[in-house]
Amino acid sequence: MTQTRRFIVSDTDEITRIDKYLSSQMPEFSRSEIQRFSVSYTDGRRVKFSDKIRTGDIFDVEIPSPQTDVALENISSDFDLDILFEDEDIIVINKPRGVVMYPSAGNKTGTLVQNILSHTHLSALGGDTRPGVVHRLDKDTSGVMVFAKSDAAYRSLVRTFSEHDLTRQYIAFVWGVPNWESADITGQIARSSRNRQKMTMVKTGGKDSHTEVSVVNAWPRAGVSQMRCTLFTGRTHQIRVHLSAHGFPVLCDPLYGRGSVRLGTVRDGDLLEFLRTHDGQMLHAQVLEFTHPTTGEKMRFKTRLPDDMLELKYLLENI
């Protein structure tokens, strides 16, 4: 069933493009999703999304009912879920490395969403292939994630992540040993014009980003450090881009790691074998803190390092 929502531009709203204005009013939808909706003025004229809003403008937005056919047709239980918490509104999962988030053209089955759907339901507000998804981790990043089971939880969590009213901390093993204990990395991130699979730091035209980095351990003989990274924004590949741009790429990262150059400096045979053969960047979402979307309870989840990162740490400590 189609839902219609009306928005009236006030004199306190920032003058911006219509699609950007609507995405700020409906943070549960991306701007590209909104551009597929039927949006018109009250007199029936269709909206041109590139136009600027004006005080007093009234927009009627027709939102089609979400469909979850793609995900539901391919429900699967390919691996055991590591469930950290579950109630009627949310489910918190420790995502394994190597698992894709949700179905796409190249990944029809075996995704995290499909495995969760074999266990429980998820809010359909996320869309046809992304029910319940309010944030993402790369395929080869492991760690704690929350999914929405109810529509109310979905709307609240989307707002929480959009406003970054939460704590997200990651552990990364990186090339290099810094001469500092902590650092703030800021700047704009945009998609690379040379490689569309990659993001890059730019001076203008990107999205603001901010990561706080602190050194947890360092192994100078191996030229490797363990870092804790706290996100204050959530850009695509943010930690991997920030660390690589500042000379500390994540180990085993196929996009940003520059591993082939660094491997020649490794003298320990066991460590060299691990780094040559391991598939997936050494990055783990360790801590997630947020307010429960319906009860208001403060939630905190901390996950242990996955086995491959524990193996790497053991090798580093025994060089």
Strands 283-291 and 142-148 come out as parallel
DSSP for 238-263, please give it. Answer: HHHHHHHHTT-PBTT-TTT--HHHHG
DSSP type of residue 306? P
Burial-class residue 114 by CB neighbours within 10 Å (0-12, 13-18, 19+).
Answer: buried
Distance, CA of 104 to CA of 111 (rounded, Å): 9
- Which residue among the candidates 19, 89, 138, 308 is catalytic per the annotation? 138
Q: How many residues does the chain have?
A: 319
Owner of token pair 């609240």? 156
Structure tokens at 287: 């801590």
269-277 vs 307-317: helix axis angle to the nearest 10? 150
Which alpha helices (H) appear in 63-119, and where do they start and end? 69-73, 112-117
138 is catalytic: yes
Distance, CA of 71 to CA of 93 (rounded, Å): 18
Q: Which residues are catalytic, by number?
A: 138
